[in-house]
Structure 1
Amino acid sequence: MYLQLKARTGKTRVQQELSDREGVERGLSLVKSWIQDSRELLLNPTSDLDILTQELELITHRQNVDKLAEQQQSKYLDLYTILPSEISMQLAEVSLALGSIEDQRDIQKTRVIKEEFNSRIHDVSEKLKTVSTSLKEKATDIDQAKDERLCDELDGCGRNLAELEAAVQDFGRRNPLIARQLADAIAKLREIHHHTLRLAEYNTTWLKKADAHLDEYNEMFEFIVKWTDRARSLVKANIIWNSSSHLQEQIRMYQSVLRESRELHGDLEAMHEKVEILSETLQVEAMGQQVSELSRHTEELELSIRSRLHSLQDAEKDMERFESEVKALHVSLEQVQATLTSPELARLSLKEQLTQRQRLLVDMESFKQQVDAVQECQSALRVPEEVVTSLSICRTALNLQQEASQLQHTAIQQCNILQVGRAVVAPDGNKNTCLPATKHA
């Protein structure tokens, strides 16, 4: 009976041992399967969530294996025997594998953190490159050059660098070697950021000066445009070929515009200088072309105005001489007319009247010279031929010529009448008899 009981007890223990070992193997098998999956996951990580989940599962499996080893150690210690080698080997293998997974996880985690740092460093670097390129590029206008978004981006880069430096410093407590590499990259970025800040400050200072230069440029441009508008209107307007005084008024107008044009040359040179200064950071091709067009247009207008002024001055000289000759002829005619119609002349004797009229006829010989001078001046007028006939001074000259001819004719008739009258009166001896003025008309 004793032997049978002992045999049954031994069999129960064996079965229990086998059952326990199967439980240990199942537990270790689950861990081994997880280890295999984890190795594949570490080789092909998909997301940060996988790594976090893996870390939690690793801790759980590590705790389970440690608990299982502790239970087995305690169990065999109670049996006054050592842990079976096959169980000991399996526990050791699993623990070693878990340690390897943990190391790989730490490496992977470090790599991910490093990649994240590198990505953030790359982002800041690209932003700084973009800002630097924008600052160095020539803007199309002053408002574009003043784009405040660049300053905001620079400030953002500065904040990102400060955050990176703090994060790398904290990371360096666990990974000093990698942290030093990251710190070197950040230090280079900090230098680039500082250089870009100086460039932005220089641009800001320059833009303040550029604003003043541009204001001066626009003022000069506006002045020249106004002048060209006036000059163009003057050139397009028809010259009024009239009296010398009217021509003088037009001459003064042209001279005034030409005097103003002297300032334009200095302004155009100054505008060229402004374009050169602004070309440092602005695209000034359009401005340069604008100045060139203004220079060309101004020169053309100035030449046209000078040509017109020369024509006006020539016409004014001719017209002044012409008017002088016409006036002289008119004065002579008025004097003769006044003498011929004078009451005093009518009260003289026939002989004296005849003598006076004969003297006037001699004086009228100068009319021919005066009329010739008038005609010569009219022919020499440097005005368009189609305008001459419409000039009031020319009509006046023609009327005066006709009047001179008529006066001469009238004077001759009067002399003839007086001679006949004198011959009739002479036989009676009434040499001093005066004819009524009405009969001498």
Structure 2
Amino acid sequence: NAPKDPTSQEILYNRQEDFYITKRGPDGEWEPVRNIGSPINTPIYNEGAQSLTADGQRMYYTVCRGNCNIFFSQKEDGKWGRPQKLPAPLNLDQFSEKQPSISPDGKTLYFVSNRTKGKGGYDIWRSHKTDDYMWSEPENLGDSINTPYNEQSPFIHFDNQTLYFSSAGHAGMGGLDIYMSQMLNDSTWSTPVNLGYPINTHRDEDGLIVNASGTMAYFSSDINPESGRDIYKFELPQEVRPIPSSYISGTITDIRSGWPLRAEYSLVDIDTEQTIMSNKASEDGTFFLCIPTNRNYGFFAFETGYLYHSEHFNLVGIHTADKPYRKNIELSPIRIGETMIMRNIFFETALYDLKPESVTELSKLFDLLSLSPTMKIEVGGHTDNVGTTEYNLSLSENRAKTVAQYLIEKGADPNRITWKGYGFTKPIGDNSTEEGRAKNRRTEIRVIGM
């Protein structure tokens, strides 16, 4: 918010809002700020209130001259590209839309607007991405969040469930206070919690953002009249922290050609069968997905004409996010002889009864059969080497049969499905270690006909 004319004594109208950037040096100190320049900053408009996608490659931000609208810019060769205004119905020329916050999967944009059909003043709205450029009709977040007064500065955390925002309408300390609310389901929110003193004061506090681990927060306040509006940071109290989030990143390619695939991928809570986040890989096959901790997840990557890939992340009881995951995924075309491992199929110990958390991946396999109506498969059961050969052959046979029967009972053609138990004859891990034995206890799918 630099002065247009440094020699002028005018304060209110002698301001130009631009974006600046600084980095923390090795000594922990912030480097001198620098203006990020064109094409984002302009000499005649005010730019501000940015929100970056989780991979840092797209920025949504506000442009104001009179009314405000939301623009975005895509990084190209490490530089920000030409800004583009988001279309209607997200932006409306006769109203203001500003202060965007993009969800970690890049599919939902939260913002404030003074458009009609709100609760009064500026409300928080959200819109869902329908393709690379278009957005759905915005929906008001409702009276759990919005009041007849102004709500400002929404920030959806990397857990995709915790929302921070400022409001002048909820019970507070005066001016704009910062609040936290969590999504109860896709359309309702918990009662907002005031972050309390000394964060909130009788002045205006807004613009809060929280790091991925949920421990540190930054916000702006005009509590000090001598310095104007400044940026502050603080350690977030435990009771208003989000779910700490890690991430998985990598590339998705064709296993034969190595060509990148714009495959879809999703993160599913396999205990509730709820899809937490989903997206599509970039043109170069790269993907980036936030993973909130303290849940039991299945990760799936799938592309038309290919066998899907699955991973399992059991983060139940883990409340820190200091271990990002890197995974390069190779998808196999649907051809006779190709195989895939189902990493989210679980059985009771030493039994062949499926655990409830297996349903998510079983449904994915059923969908694959439906999308590939000529494909025939063999369900293969595999064990570690604990126990006799006869015992493990019988156990693996029964487990494979259980999976096949589940698919048939769900409606799959029994003529397209066979099963076989291999015991411990085809290990993929070292049976002398627990990690290796865990890899060997698996269910595999092999294409046997087309």
What TM-score do you get using the length of structure 1 for normalisation?
Answer: 0.17
Higher helix proportion (structure 1 or 2):
1
* Larger RCO of the pair (alpha carbons < 8 Å, separation 6+): 1
Higher strand proportion (structure 1 or 2):
2
